Chain A
Amino acid sequence: MDVIVWSRIQFAMTAAYHWLFVPLTLGLALVMAVMETIYVIKKDDFWKKTAQYWMKLFAINFAVGIATGIILEFEFGTNWSNYSWFVGDMFGAPLAIEGILAFFMEATFFAVMFFGWDRVSKRFHLVSTWLTGIGATISAFWILVANGWMQNPVGTTFNPETVRSEMASAQAFWEVVSNPVAISKFFHAITSGWVTGGVFVVGISCWYLLKKRQRKFARASILIGSIVGIVGSFAVMLSGDASGVHAAEFQPMKLAAAEGLQDGGRRAAFTIVPGIKIPGMLSILATHDIDGFVPGINDILNGYTDNEGNEIPSVAEKMAMGREALVALSIYRSTDDPSEKAEARYALEENVQYMGYGHLEKPEDVIPPVGVVFWAFRFMIGLGMLLLLELLVIGWLAWKDKLAGKRWLMIAAIVCIPLVYICGQAGWIVAEVGRQPWTIQGLLPVNVAISSLSAGAVKTTFFVFLAIFTLFLVIEIRILIGAIKKGPETPNE
């Protein structure tokens, strides 16, 4: 394997590892904030101890997960230096806001939440707990603004002098922040974190029920966890629907790959699994219109007319325009003749949206690994539906106080904990593998974004990371299991 593949595998592993901690932070933050709110309203010490227990697991997850995102930034500078320079101006603002505002907000109120029981007022403590979760959420927002821009690069202009995508005005910043892809991604990621938190709380609580320990605590936790998880599941569906429409509009190849759709059309069918299809459903999901046209892989390669009547060029035509952009860029940067420079700039601006296509060797290079994206999409949706069913059934039985004796259901709830992580990872595989070969959609393919490194160097750091990540993961799981076995300080009833 060459340096590009090793760098991509390394980045994917780091991002996947990071995403083990983030959703649980987002989900548990909401669960414990709701529990503490009930404590403040009802003035019942049981809810305080219940919230404190989940806060303990939150703290363990937070401690092990902290700074794992920093490694991604190391990799940007070392492995993806061309990309880092290209996006530096644009990423600077959201990542700085993320680092300064959101992270410090999260960290400050985390300390009050963690240390402040009985040292600050109940209300201030409650506000700190909510702000810890809100800080984590705002932090995720800015990261997803940056990610959303890579999927749909709006609001910036390419500056041939600096060779960077730049935000020229406050209006441009607003366009980046309100990028529809970023907004739907944000809600999708945050609410999937609520599902993770809900499934985690329900699963751990079921373990106590299986062990015939802490029944009151477990039932109360199941009720809150399932409500958070169910609300999260429906919100995931709504934001997922928006993501599908945005993929159809801005990244049709990703949608075609996720569906394994070779030839598109109107009333396109949605494939549940190969051989089982729902007629018209893909058109409804992608365009909210049963007669909406959904392009397949071949349509995108050969060119098509979209639902607004726009003629979308073939990939070969985009490659030709991309090459014109690259030639113009080269002339612009090498000539001192003002008229030649102006002419080159004009040619560049005319074709810049296809600049990345100029680096492709053949049209088929725009097709991502279809099998990976297709099956990851099905795992995500299938597991998501299964988890919703689990939360509905267990939440309902806990509400009716009829969970006792449903041993198989409790075991299923515990099994659902790893499944919710697989579901989240599958979602990111769809989002990120589905947009290959682009680091920035249409502008910068991975083979140009990469630094000059030897595959051996990247391979070495890959295995160093693998060892470190595995070690920390084992440590976290051991500490978590220890805390779970010890249990909450609520009365054992």
Chain B
Amino acid sequence: MKTFRQSMSAVWHFYRDSFRNMTWGRPLVWLILLKVFILFAILRVFFFKPAMAGLSDEERSRIVGERIAGGQPQAGDPAAAPGSFNL
């Protein structure tokens, strides 16, 4: 157990000291954090809500099944595509 704790401590100090002593890599870390923030806190939340979020697996099967089998989707079904071929 002691060995495991010592190992974890060594790993922690490795990362902590490395980040503290970073020179040219520091702006890259900020860049990564900025990008992750834009992706997950802005784009994911405001622009990319999954079309079938909150539905049960049965509802998803029904909606996709109706779409694939060519049945008429019910009003409000999020997977009811209006498309026709336009390649």
Q: What is A's interface to B at a CB cutoff of 8 Å?
A: 1-5, 56, 59-60, 63-64, 66-67, 70-71, 74-75, 77-79, 81-82, 84-86, 111, 114-116, 119, 160-164, 326-327, 329-330, 333, 355, 358-361, 365, 368-369, 436-437, 444-448, 450-453, 460-461, 464, 468, 472, 475, 479, 483
Contact = CB atoms under 8 A, between A and B. Distances in A.
Given A56-B24, A63-B32, A162-B61, A82 B86 contact: no
B69 A82 contact: no
B86 A60 contact: no
B43 interface: yes
B81 A67 contact: no
A452 B78 contact: yes
9 contacts: A82-B67, A163-B64, A163-B68, A164-B61, A326-B68, A333-B69, A452-B80, A464-B43, A472-B35
The 5 closest A-B pairs by CB, nearest first: A115-B18, A77-B50, A81-B51, A74-B48, A330-B69
Nearest to A71: B39
B1 interface: no
A228 B58 CA distance: 51
B57 A461 contact: no
B83 to A, nearest CB: 4
A458 to B, nearest CB: 10
- Chain B interface residue count: which class? 35 or more
Nearest to B29: A63
Interface string B51-72: 1110001001100110111110
A63 B81 contact: no
Contacts of B78: 81, 451-452
Interface string B75-87: 0011111111111
Given A82-B64, A82-B67, A464-B43, A59 B28 contact: yes
B79 to A, nearest CB: 5
Given A78-B50, A333-B65, A451-B81, A111 B86 contact: no
Given A78-B50, A111-B18, A71 B70 contact: no
Nearest to A460: B47
Contacts of A70: 39
Contact of A59 (B25, B71, B77): B25
Nearest to A83: B64
Contacts of B4: none
Contact of B43 (A74, A79, A85): A74
B28 A63 contact: yes
Contacts of B53: 77
Interface string B1-34: 0000000000000110010000011011101100
Contacts of A447: 81, 83-85
A4 B87 CA distance: 9
Contact of A448 (B18, B38, B67, B77): B67
A351 B18 CA distance: 60
A275 B81 CA distance: 43
A111 B15 CA distance: 8
A349 to B, nearest CB: 15
B82 A361 contact: no
A134 B36 CA distance: 24
Nearest to A62: B28
A67 B71 CA distance: 38
Contact of B85 (A326, A355, A437, A460): A437
B15 to A, nearest CB: 7
A60 B28 CA distance: 7
Contacts of B84: 361, 447
A479 B48 contact: no
A479 B27 contact: yes
Nearest to A355: B68
Contacts of A56: 24
Contacts of B61: 85, 161-164
A73 B32 CA distance: 18
B44 A360 contact: no
Nearest to A3: B83
Interface centre among A115, A355, A369 (most CB of B within 10 A): A115
A164 B58 CA distance: 12
B38 A468 contact: yes
A70 B40 CA distance: 10
Nearest to A454: B82
A329 B65 contact: yes
Nearest to B69: A330
Interface centre among B24, B43, B50, B79 (most CB of A within 10 A): B79
A483 to B, nearest CB: 7
B83 A450 contact: yes
Contact of A436 (B14, B35, B39, B87): B87
A336 to B, nearest CB: 15
A475 B31 contact: yes
Nearest to A365: B85
B83 A360 contact: no
Nearest to A450: B81
A464 B47 contact: yes
A447 B57 CA distance: 22
